[in-house]
Structure 1
Amino acid sequence: MVCKSGMAAFIFFFFFFLIILIESGFSYDIPTGESDCSNRWIHIRRLPSRFNLDLLTNCSEYHIYDDFCPYLLNHGLGSKTHNHSHSWYRTDPFMLELVFHRRMLEYPCLTQDPNLANAIYLPYYAALDALKYLYGPEINSSSEHGLELYSYLRSDAAEIWDRYMGHDHFLVMARPAWDFSQPLNMDPPLWGTSFLELPEFYNVTALVLESRAWSWQEQAVPYPTSFHPSNSHLLESWLKRVRRSRRSTLMLFAGGGGIGATPNIRRSIRNECEYSTTDDDGASANEQICYIVDCSNGICEHDPIRFMKPMLQANFCLEPPGDTPTRRSTFDAILAGCIPVFFEEQSAISQYGWHLPPELYDEFSVFIPKEDVVFKELKIVDVLQSIPDAKVRKMREKVIELIPRLMYRRHGSTLGLKTTKDAFDIAIDATLERISSRLQDVSFR
C-alpha cells in the first residue's frame, strides 16, 4: 500500500514534470479534426505550487473533513474499483480541479505566449485551498480566501491580468458555488468562503459543480462519475451493456435522509417506496415498484458497485434535492441509462446548460414539483406509470445518447476516443465562447 505522503509526493512530482514539459515547448499530437486552433488558444498561467500541488501534501490534515489522500491516485480519478478494472475508479467529485488540470496539460491548443491566448487558465485548486477556511485553523478568516491569489496575479506579470482585467481568465472550483458565496464582513462567519463575493474576481469565469440562480461569474459543469474510459472500445462496451440491461424496477432512489418527522421530498419518497408492493399500482408480477439504495453516511460515495447495478435495472431514478439542489447521483443515473426524475428546477434544468440544454429535458427526464408530492399527495408512481412504454424507450435512448458528453474520459486516452467530446471538451469549448462574447461586450481602455 502506498503511504499517504508518498502518494501525494508522487503526484506532485509527476505533475511538476508535465508542467515543465509544457513550459519548455513540449506539445501533444493534435487529434484529427482538431488541427485548427483559431480562437481556441489557451495559456496556462504559471502559479507557485502553494496554489495547487502543495495543497495535495495536506491531504490528511483536515480531521473533520474526510481524508482525501486515497482519491489523489490516477491524477484525481482515485484508485481503481478492482485490480482488473479498465474504466472504473473510486472518484471523489471534489478532485475535479486535479482532473481538470491534468486534462488541460494535454489540451491540443496550448500557447506559451499569453498575448496570443484566447483564454487564460488558472490552475488553482480553489476547493482544496478552501478546506483550511471550512475545516482548518483559518475558519474565522474565510473572507480572505482568494486574496493571496489576486495579489500574486497583480504582482507577477501583471500585464497578463491587466490586458482584460481578468475577463479572459477561468478556473475550476470543485464545490457548489454556495461554498464560496459567504457575504464579505459576515460576523460571525457563516458556512463557506467569500471567494465569489470578492470584487477582484467578478470578471473571472468559474466552473463549479453547482451554480447559483443569479450566476454571473460561474457555470455549473457535471459532477465526475466513477466511469473514465481510455478508448472507444471501453466506451462502446459500456453503452451496449446499458442498452441490453433488463429494467425490472420502476423507480429507484439512491441516497440518504428522509427519516425524520419533518415533511420533505425525501421522506415522501421513502414513504411511497415503503408502501409500494408488486401487487398494487398496476405493476406486473416481474416488476418491482420501488427500490432504495441506502447511501446514508456517505457509504456510496466512493463505491459505485453499490448503486450502479440497481440503477442498470431501473427505469427511473429519483433525484430529490438534499443539502443543495444538485446531486452527483443525477450523472450516475444517466451513466446507467436510468431516466432521471427531478423535483425542482435548480437540480438540473437551470444548472448545466452547456452539457444539458434546457430544451432537451422533456426528451430525457421527468419533472414532478416537490410541493405536489409533499403537500398535495401526488404519487410519484402514478406519474411514472402513466408514461407510455414507447416514450420510456425513447427517453432511455436519449439518456444513453447523452452519456459521452457527461463523462470525463481518462487522461491520455487513445486518439479514437479523443474525437468524442466529453464533459471536459464541452466545458472548454463553451468557456472559450463565453469569454469571447464577454470580451466583445466589454470596452477596454
Structure 2
Amino acid sequence: MKEKEKSILKTLVVCKSRQSSRQMHIFPLLISSLLSSLFLLFLSYSSSCPSSPPSSLTLSLSAASHADPCSGRYLYVYDLPDKFNDGIVRECRTIFPWIDMCPYVANMGLGPHLTKTGSVLTGTGWHITNQWVLEVIFHNRMRQYECLTANSSQADAFFVPYYVGLDTGRHMWGHHTSLRERDALLLELFQFLKSRPEWSAKGGRDHFILSGRSTYDLRREDNGVSQWGGKLLMLPEVKNMTVLLIESCPWGNGNEFSVPYPTNFHPSNESQVIAWQDKVSSTKRLWLFSFAGARRPGQAGSIRDQLFDQCVNSSHCKLLDCALAHNDCDTPTTTMSLFQSSNFCLQPPGDTPTRRSAFDSMLAGCIPVFFHPESAYTQYKWYLPDNYSEYSVYVPQDDVREGRVSIEEVLLKYSEEEIRDMKEKVVSMIPTLIYKDPSYKLESVRDAFDVAIDGVLRRVKSIIGNQSSI
C-alpha cells in the first residue's frame, strides 16, 4: 500500500475594511459601491474553485476497495470420490496391522484431546497426534482456506486430496497383497486426472499433492530388488507436480518439498500460541542436553549406541529410553517435560534421516543437535533459516561414530548468551512449525499449512511463468 499522501487546499480570505473617520465624509457612495463590487468578484472566484482537489490517496483507496485479496492465491480442490480420502479414514483399522488408527484419525486428524496437561502444557489445544496423519489434517485445513474457488479457470493451483500415505500403509508390513492391488487406487486416480481439462491445460504443472509419509515409502521401482511401499513418486505424471512430504528426497526430481511433521499442539486461537511461547521462553532448563529415543543395534551406521553411552556417562544429560518406556515416549507430557528441561536436544537419524522428535523438541524451545544434513538442513527450506547455526548445532555423525567428539564438550563451549539467542530463535519459529486446529481461523498466526501453500503458489507461478516465456 502506498504511503499516505495529503493534498489539502486551504483558501484563507481576510477582508478587513478599515474606515477612517477622516475619510467617511469623502465620497461615501463611491467607496460603498467599490467594496460591493470587490465582494461580488471574490464570491464569483471562490465558487469557481473546488474546496479541495481529489487526492491520490482517495483514488488509491477507491481502487483498493475493488481489489481482489485472493488474486494469485486461488486454489481449486478436486472433489474426489471418498474412497481416495474419507473412505480410507472410515476403514482406519486397516491402515496399520498392529495399531488401531481410528482414535488418531478422529477430530480431523488431530487425534484424541489431551485433557490432563498438568503443569507441563498450557491450556487447551493439545492432542495425541500420530505422526503419519498429516494428510487428514492438511485436507481439513484446506477446507478452511480463504481463497478456494469452484471455478477451475480462476485457480492458480490445484490440490489433489488423495491420502496416498494412509493408502500405502494398508499394504505394507506383511500385508500380502499383489502389487496390482496395492497400486489400484493410485493408478485409478491418475487415470481420472489425465481425463480432466484442468490437468490437460498445463500437464499437471500447477497441481500439488501431499503425503504424510517419507519419500522412501513412495519410491518402489518394481525391479524385483525391493517390494517396499508405493510408487507415487515413480509415476512420470507426478514429476510435473509439486509433492509435499514430511521428508523429501534431496537428490530427486526437484519437485519434492518437505513440510513439518505434525506435533501434538494444534491451537485454536492466538492467545494459546503466545502463552505457549511465553512458557517455553521462561522455563528453567535443568539439563545441558537430553535424548529421547531407542538404540538401533541392528541398523548399520547408526550412532544411537554412541549417543546413549555418552548421555549415560554425562552428568549434564537426561536420557529417555524409549525401548524401556515406550508408552512414556508416546505421551506428550513426558516428552515435552524432558525437552522443556533441556537446552539442547539430540536428534540423530532414525529409520530415515528426519524425525518427528526434532519438531517436538523445537516446540518445547529446545535447541536441536543434528548429525546429518538431511535431518533438517536440506529438507525444510521453506521453514528453517539458511544459517543453521542460528537455531541448531551440527555435529558430523562420522565424528561421533568414530569417537572423535564428545557431545558434552561441544555443547559446554556455548555461552549463556549464545544459548539464549538460539533458544529465542527457536521459540520465534514455533508458529510456522505447527498446524492449527482446522475448526478455527487464526488470522494473525501463520502456521505450517500457510507456509506450504505460499511455497506451492510461488513454485507454480515460477514454473508456469517459465513455460509461458519459452
Name the TM-score class by shorter chain.
0.7 to 0.9
* Aligned equivalent of 2:111, options 78, 82, 87: 78
Amino acid at match of 2:105: L
Please give the secondary structure, in 1, of the residue aligned with 2:436: coil
Please give the secondary structure, in 2, of the residue aligned with 1:60: helix
Question: How far 1:223 sits from its partner (Å)?
Answer: 0.4
Question: How far 1:61 sits from its partner (Å)?
Answer: 2.1
Within 2, Cα distance between the matches of 1:41 and 1:131?
32
Q: State the match for 2:341 in structure 1.
A: 313
Once the two structures are superposed, what CA deviation does each residue of 1:298-341 show, in whole Å capped at 9, x if it has no partner?
53564211210111010000000011000001111111000000
Asked if 2 retains the 8 angstrom alpha-carbon contact of 1:258 and 1:270, the reply is no
Within 2, Cα distance between the matches of 1:77 and 1:117?
29
Once the two structures are superposed, what CA deviation does each residue of 1:48-72 show, in whole Å capped at 9, x if it has no partner?
1111111112111256242210112
Q: Does 1:113 align with 2:140?
A: no
Question: How far 1:133 sits from its partner (Å)?
Answer: 2.8
- Distance change >3 Å, CA 408–CA 318, structure 1 → 2: same
Q: Does 1:209 align with 2:236?
A: no
Q: State the match for 2:374 in structure 1.
A: 346
Within 1, Cα distance between the matches of 2:236 and 2:468?
18
Q: State the match for 1:404 in structure 2.
A: 431
Within 1, Cα distance between the matches of 2:184 and 2:225?
14
Asked if 2 retains the 8 angstrom alpha-carbon contact of 1:172 and 1:208, the reply is yes
Question: How far 1:131 sits from its partner (Å)?
Answer: 2.2
- Unaligned 5+ segments in structure 2 are 1-66, 118-122
Please give the secondary structure, in 1, of the residue aligned with 2:202: coil
Within 2, Cα distance between the matches of 1:441 and 1:146?
29
Question: How far 1:376 sits from its partner (Å)?
Answer: 3.8
* Aligned equivalent of 1:47, options 47, 61, 80: 80
Asked if 2 retains the 8 angstrom alpha-carbon contact of 1:164 and 1:444, the reply is no
- Distance change >3 Å, CA 229–CA 92, structure 1 → 2: same
Q: Does 1:150 align with 2:190?
A: yes
Within 2, Cα distance between the matches of 1:227 and 1:96?
13
Q: Does 1:173 align with 2:198?
A: no
Asked if 1 retains the 8 angstrom alpha-carbon contact of 2:96 and 2:170, the reply is no
Please give the secondary structure, in 1, of the residue aligned with 2:320: strand
* Aligned equivalent of 1:335, options 357, 363, 375: 363
Please give the secondary structure, in 1, of the residue aligned with 2:106: helix
- Distance change >3 Å, CA 61–CA 290, structure 1 → 2: same
Q: State the match for 1:299 in structure 2.
A: 327
Amino acid at match of 2:177: E
Question: How far 1:128 sits from its partner (Å)?
Answer: 1.2
Q: State the match for 2:131 in structure 1.
A: 93
Amino acid at match of 1:148: E
- Distance change >3 Å, CA 334–CA 203, structure 1 → 2: same
Q: What pairs up with 1:19-418 in 2 under 5 angstroms?
A: 36-62=69-95, 64-82=97-115, 86-135=124-173, 136-141=175-180, 142=182, 146-155=186-195, 158-183=196-221, 185-187=222-224, 189-215=226-252, 216-258=254-296, 264-277=302-315, 289-296=316-323, 299-300=327-328, 302-359=330-387, 361-414=388-441, 417-418=442-443
Aligned-pair identity in percent equals 38
Once the two structures are superposed, what CA deviation does each residue of 1:118-175 show, in whole Å capped at 9, x if it has no partner?
00011111111112332434353446662111011123xx111100111111111000
What TM-score comes out, normalization by structure 2 length? Answer: 0.80
Question: How far 1:187 sits from its partner (Å)?
Answer: 1.9
Please give the secondary structure, in 1, of the residue aligned with 2:244: strand
Within 2, Cα distance between the matches of 1:199 and 1:355?
28
Asked if 1 retains the 8 angstrom alpha-carbon contact of 2:348 and 2:371, the reply is yes
Within 1, Cα distance between the matches of 2:301 and 2:106?
41
Q: State the match for 1:423 in structure 2.
A: 448
CA RMSD of aligned residues (A): 2.1
Within 2, Cα distance between the matches of 1:301 and 1:195?
31
Asked if 2 retains the 8 angstrom alpha-carbon contact of 1:406 and 1:422, the reply is yes
Pair member with larger Rg: 2
* Aligned equivalent of 2:460, options 406, 425, 435: 435
- Distance change >3 Å, CA 262–CA 196, structure 1 → 2: closer
Amino acid at match of 2:361: A
Question: How far 1:413 sits from its partner (Å)?
Answer: 2.5
Once the two structures are superposed, what CA deviation does each residue of 1:348-394 show, in whole Å capped at 9, x if it has no partner?
000000011323x1101000001011114310110000111110111
What TM-score comes out, normalization by structure 1 length? Answer: 0.84
Asked if 2 retains the 8 angstrom alpha-carbon contact of 1:321 and 1:344, the reply is yes
Asked if 2 retains the 8 angstrom alpha-carbon contact of 1:258 and 1:266, the reply is yes
Within 2, Cα distance between the matches of 1:59 and 1:393?
44
Once the two structures are superposed, what CA deviation does each residue of 1:243-299 show, in whole Å capped at 9, x if it has no partner?
11001101010111245697731111111112123xxxxxxxxxxx11111223853
Question: How far 1:95 sits from its partner (Å)?
Answer: 1.0
